[in-house]
Amino acid sequence: MQKNIETFITDTLHKKGMRMTRPKKKFLDFFTSEEYLKTPQELLENIKQHNIDIGLTTVYRMLNYLMEAGLTKAYSINGELRYIFCPPDHHYHMICVKCLRVKNIFDCPVKDVKVDGFKIQSHQVDFFGICDECSKKEVNK
Amino acid sequence: MQKNIETFITDTLHKKGMRMTRPKKKFLDFFTSEEYLKTPQELLENIKQHNIDIGLTTVYRMLNYLMEAGLTKAYSINGELRYIFCPPDHHYHMICVKCLRVKNIFDCPVKDVKVDGFKIQSHQVDFFGICDECSKKEVNK
DNA sequence: TTATCTGCAAAAGGTTTGCAACTGA
DNA sequence: TCAGTTGCAAACCTTTTGCAGATAA
């Protein structure tokens, strides 16, 4: 986890009277640098593989907190909810439909769109495609 | 449900050796003309309010079938999965964050986007805003 | 006629909550 | 010090499955 992200999240926690603890830090270390959409279970297993022991409850509590804070997004894929950390800047997602890798796109391709009687408050663009690594694998098959 | 949509879905069912039955038809009658994101429970309750009796299992089975067929989309909102029927043509969604009304936008605002090493296979654009009806309600408060 | 479908009840999963021990500020 | 946190176990919900009777083609 980058130092500035840790500081940023610690600050948002403190503003809500919450504390930055060892389990939270360990979870964030992993989650903020994870590139793939993961289920809560997978996140826990991945973290335990690094010989770090935290509880599933903590994973759920952190995911819920980060969702509320707008720092995480959930996708429903094949009936499973999968999560990705979203750095604070507004951005778009490029999702590989094969390996579920997520790339953040900061160069906004749609700006100030107004449609019909709707006042647009926010918009999200999610591209689903094949990442370069999965493309290579396909050629080799 | 429009006649052409019923015919279209009946055909896709038959192609998979499935049957268009009374409960399926009753569910589709309601779901294909529903404008708001709904949970499976809500769909069942709404249908029962019209004095039509089908089981929750049928609702789930139809939602799963329609998702697979690409005729329904699920959004995770406040931890709840909510569904909307998607007519076969490619389109975008305009979602009211207050009342969860969904409007289909057929005029594509993003075309043939290519980013980094990704080959784009499909893209989805979902706008979240306030619909005109909710805007009016807000002014009156 | 018969393969598919339905709805119930039960099972299975995923997520949240209560609580006693623990810990960061 | 003590309010907030943790992880376990239990509770809770949502979703799926098994099955016997019903039904579309």
Which uninterrupted H or E stretch holds A126?
strand A119-130
Residue B84 CA to residue B36 CA, distance in Å, equals 7
Q: Which residue of A has its CA nearest to B136?
A: A117
Is there a contact between A83 and A93 (Cβ–Cβ < 8 Å)? no
In whole angstroms, D11 C1' to A24 CA is 25
What pLDDT was estimated at residue B117?
58
Q: Do B129 and A119 touch (CB under 8 A)?
A: yes
Q: Do A103 and B110 touch (CB under 8 A)?
A: no
Contact flag, residue A24 CB and nucleic strand D, below 7 A: yes
Is there a contact between A125 and A73 (Cβ–Cβ < 8 Å)? no
Residue B43 CA to residue B74 CA, distance in Å, equals 13
On the question of pLDDT at A74 being above 80, the answer is yes
Q: Do A127 and B118 touch (CB under 8 A)?
A: yes
* Of A22-36, A105-119, B67-81, B107-121, highest mean pLDDT: A22-36
pLDDT in tens, B53-64: 999 999 999 999
Cβ-based contacts of A76 with chain B (< 8 Å): 74-76, 81
- The backbone torsions φ and ψ at residue A67, rounded to the nearest 5 degrees and listed phi first, read -60, -50
A121 has a chain B CB within 8 A of its CB: yes
Is there a contact between A103 and B116 (Cβ–Cβ < 8 Å)? yes
Check residues B98 and B26 and name the one with the higher pLDDT: B26
Residue B36 CA to residue A124 CA, distance in Å, equals 19
The nucleotide minimizing the C1' distance to residue A80's CA is C14
Of A109, A122, A132, the CB nearest to B128: A122
Please state whether the predicted TM-score (pTM) of the whole model is above 0.75: yes
Closest by Cα among B127, B57, B60, B62 to B92:
B127
Closest by Cα among A55, A52, A9 to A32:
A9
Pairing of strands A119-130, A92-96: parallel
Which uninterrupted H or E stretch holds A81?
strand A80-85
Q: Which residue of A has its CA nearest to B63?
A: A79
pLDDT in tens, B73-111: 998 888 899 999 999 876 788 888 888 989 887 765 444
pLDDT in tens, A30-55: 999 999 999 999 999 999 999 999 99
